[in-house]
A and B are shown apart, each in its own frame.
Chain A
Amino acid sequence: MIKFQNITKIYPPNTVALNDVSFEVKPKEFVSLVGRSGAGKTTLLRLLLAEEKPTNGRIFFNNYDFSKIKLEQLPELRRKIGAVFQDYKLLPSKTAYENIAYAMEVVGASDSEIARDVAEVLDIVGLTKKACNFPAQLSGGEKQRVAIARALIHRPEVILADEPTGNLDPYHTLDIIRLLLNINEIGTTVILATHNREVINSLGKRVVTLQDGKIIRDEEKGRFIL
């Protein structure tokens, strides 16, 4: 489903973020990317969202070859991916409800579908009462949950989650991880980047460990070892 083939990413002048990284992700898989800060986890996710281009190597997602993809094809590709960003990337001029609804609006969902699904997702992430709040009026954890709700509302094929529990208390962390597992169980591929040791160790899923831009370990039922 997803294939990274000899990916190298160098940021000018000479910062090597990824160095000849290759791995595949199968459909319905739950993969955790672990590594220290600067190991290249976020860069990998950014490349998969076509936010950046690799310096070398090729990326494939379903029938898309990223080296051949055109700018106007990107929206279609990105609608198949739900992304939870480390810095949330919420639209500051829209309320929590509107931020989540936006992901459905862009795929052309009807108003009634949007009203139904957004209410449901807001309930799942426990933010029904904060639906009309703007991002500036939400705590870090609440913003994180809005970002998660936005990433999953349009039922994407893959969810990329970059430190989705970074700002959450243990109680909400567990909730979010459970949510990601549930989404994965119904057939959505999940790629989770995190440095939360307990989360990784409790999952019992595939773990890809990165260090200095290279894959140092890739285990089917991995643990957080650094």
Chain B
Amino acid sequence: MFTLLKRAFRSGWKSLARDGGLVAANIFIMAMVIAMITSLFIFKDASDFLIEKLQEKVDISVYFKYETAEEDILKVKDEITNIPQVREVEYISKEEAFKRFTEKHQDNTVLMESLSEVGTNPFLASLDIKAFQANQYEAVATFLDDSNFDYLIEKVDYHERKPVIERIFALTSNFNKAGIVFSIILAIVAILVAFNTIRLAIYNSREEIKIQRLVGASNRFIRGPFLVQGAVCGFAAALICLLLFLVLTWGFNSKVEYLFPGLSLFQIFVGNFWLILLIQITAGVGLGMLSSLIAVRRYLRV
């Protein structure tokens, strides 16, 4: 067994060294395939981040009557927090609302002057409610409408925001579905390209495989070097891809962050480095060996 392995490695390695051009072409194609798979992984993380950011912006606000005491509002907050569909509830006092408004519009002199004309704090205390999913806002709104603290509530802005909320969630859900379909198609294309490249390379060796059979080589003995070649090509392609992505994510990081604040491709890459390395090596070596195995099989029936 050891001799068989040793000879498979030696013979596989020699063929790689002697057929440099074909090997380089194989590695290039495999690297493209692995790059495609890696991109899918990184874009999945990036799109998840963007979708999450978008969804975070969606909420409904419950405004309380001006005279409602803070402790009553906090009691309501506790009750709302206990609703299973609710992910997060934030209390914004009148003062906080005033502060946020002035901070946001400090450059707008007309607004600021109007506010000072009023003389008092015109803002209402509110609770900002975030649900886990878009379709859960309806249930939260119904709960608020039917609650025993209905008399404290001035208004719930759900009904005004409903169309926007639903559109955003429909969009993100479609985006996710499209992403999955696109990933599957791309992965299939990638696998087929890798398989065909190796199949063509082995097609060139079909006569050689036949001779090996006629000389008395067993199928295991013939397959060994091809598997080694497939694995080495896949491994080399994975390493090239790793380096390529390290450079690309680092190089484009600032530009992407400028377009999508908070989204760092380099961080995604570095944060998932070992997983990406595993995916790349598994994809490269696995694809290389599997394609070789399937491609050689048909010529072994001599």
Q: State whether these chains interact.
A: yes
A131 to chain B, nearest CB (A): 15
Let me know if B3 and A108 touch, CB within 8 A: yes
Nearest CB in chain A: distance from B19 CB, A: 7
Closest Cβ of chain A to B297, distance in Å, is: 12
User: Is A195 on the interface with B (CB-CB < 8 A)?
Assistant: no
SS class of chain B's interface: helix, strand, loop or mixed? helix
Interface size class of A (residues with CB under 8 A): 20 to 34
In this complex, how many residues of chain B approach chain A with their Cβ under 8 Å: the count is 19
- Residue numbers in A under 8 Å from B3 (CB-CB): 108, 110
Q: Within 8 Å of chain A (Cβ to Cβ): is B199?
A: no
Tell whether A49 is near chain B: CB-to-CB under 8 Å: yes
Which residues of chain B have C-beta atoms less than 8 A from A51's C-beta?
Answer: 214, 302
* Chain A, 69-108, CB within 8 A of any chain B CB: 71-72, 74-76, 78-79, 81, 83, 85, 89-93, 102-103, 105-108
Instruction: Count CB-based A-B contacts (< 8 Å).
Output: 53
* Cβ A78 vs Cβ B18 within 8 A: no
Contact for A93 among B7, B19, B213, B217, CB less than 8 A: B19
Q: How many angstroms from the CA of A85 to the CA of B191 in the assembled complex?
A: 39
A206: CB under 8 A from chain B?
A: no
Q: Which residues of A contact B176 (CB under 8 A)?
A: none
Question: Does A150 have its Cβ within 8 Å of any Cβ on chain B?
Answer: yes
Chain A residues contacting B211 (CB-CB under 8 Å) are 89-91
- B47 contacts A by Cβ under 8 Å: no
Q: Are B302 and A93 in contact, with the CB atoms below 8 A?
A: no
Interface residues of A in 145-195 (CB under 8 A from B): 150, 154
Check B219 against A78 for contact (C-beta < 8 Å): no
12 further interface pairs, Cβ-Cβ under 8 Å (given A78-B213, A108-B3)? A74-B213, A75-B216, A76-B216, A78-B214, A90-B211, A91-B212, A92-B208, A93-B208, A103-B215, A106-B215, A107-B216, A154-B216
A interface residues, Cβ below 8 angstroms from B = 49, 51, 71-72, 74-76, 78-79, 81, 83, 85, 89-93, 102-103, 105-108, 110, 150, 154
Q: B residues touching A (Cβ–Cβ < 8 Å)?
A: 3, 7, 15, 18-19, 205, 208, 211-219, 221, 301-302
10 A-B pairs closest in CB distance: A79-B216, A78-B216, A106-B217, A75-B218, A89-B211, A75-B216, A106-B216, A91-B208, A103-B215, A105-B7
